Amino acid sequence: MDTLNQYKVNVTVQVRYLPEQSNEVEDRHVFAYTITITNQGPHPVQLLHRHWIITDANNHVQEVKGKGVVGEQPIINPGQGFEYSSGTVLATQVGTMSGSYQMQVVDGGVFNVPIQQFVLSVPRTLH
């Protein structure tokens, strides 16, 4: 069964660098990201858990797992979305994030929604 087509949950990401919280001398590069999760399927779904893999340019990998997002386990109704913002700190100017959300159809089965890899980059670092 193709759960991606069956449940139709879409994830979009917007990233921004936070220079006011970053410190180049201390190798501290702070990034904020805003995630929008849209339920394009016919059933309400609930976000249960998150799993992130964060990799910097030195191949230092940080794995983050936890319940929900930003203290919530939102229920997303058909045709609706849920948006939240969070952040991460890298020791390098460039890195990547990818991962997945574990979700559940309300009164139904559990499925995973992959989050495609996206780039974290200090402006004007990559061409």
| CA atoms of 52 and 73, how far apart (whole Å) | 16
Neighbours of 13 (CB within 10 A): 15
Count of domains in the chain?
A: 1
- Report the CATH number that the domain containing residue 72 is assigned in CATH: 2.60.40.1470
Model pLDDT for residues 53-92, shown as the tens digit of each residue: 999 999 999 999 999 999 999 999 999 999 999 999 999 9
Is there a domain that residue 126 lies in?
A: no
Give the CA-trace dihedral at 121, 123, 126, 127, to 10 degrees.
150
Burial of 103 (0-12, 13-18, 19+ CB in 10 A): buried
Is there a domain that residue 94 lies in?
A: yes
Kindly report the pTM of this predicted structure.
0.90
Domain coverage including residue 87: 3-121
Is there a domain that residue 37 lies in?
A: yes
| CA atoms of 4 and 76, how far apart (whole Å) | 16
Is there a domain that residue 127 lies in?
A: no
